[in-house]
Amino acid sequence: MENKGGREFIWIASVVVVLAIFLGSIAYALRLGYSVASEVSVMPLEKAAGLFQPGVKDLGDGRYQVDIIAFLWGFRPARVELNNPREIILRIYSNDVIHGFQIVGTNVNVMVIPGYIATVIWRPPQNINGTLLVICNEYCGIGHSGMYMEIVIKR
């Protein structure tokens, strides 16, 4: 007769250990201040033209707010230059179809839904210097493949 209770205990203990590691890593990340870096707010399409203007606002101390409009098949502004940014608040709006906003090679990736302002707070690493490509990663029609913009970081 074989002792099955021993094997069952090993499996239960293994699951408990993995679960404890998982929950511990989440608690550790929250303690360090990690959180969701994006939020969405509503802006009705009829009000957007007068209230949401694309461009860059220097908030001081290395902080910038970049307001971007995604449209068929581009971004406005198409190029943004930032000097030694510490924190970038990206606010992206679409008034036509669903678009994506992804800064290639980073963890910035957000879906832009018409009528909503998607806000992402990004703290670019100090080793990033030069031109970053931003692409739309949600298929938005025949001109989708040409929908991109550039963010230039000067250090």
Span 10-24, pLDDT tens digits: 889 999 999 999 999
For 68-123, the DSSP string reads EEEETTEEESSEEEEES-SEEEEEEEESSS-EEEEETTSS-EEEE-TTEEEEEEE-
Distance CA 127, CA 80 (A): 18
At 3, is the pLDDT very low, low, confident or very high (cuts 50, 70, 90)?
low
The CATH homologous superfamily of the domain defined by 38-154: Cupredoxins -  blue copper proteins (2.60.40.420)
Q: Write down the mean pLDDT value for the chain.
A: 89
Per-residue pLDDT tens for 73-121? 999 999 999 999 999 999 999 989 999 999 999 989 999 999 888 999 9
Residue 95 near residue 76 (C-beta atoms within 8 A): no
- How confident is the model over 29-73, as pLDDT tens digits? 778 766 666 666 777 766 666 678 899 999 999 999 999 999 999
Residue 1 pLDDT > 60, yes or no? no
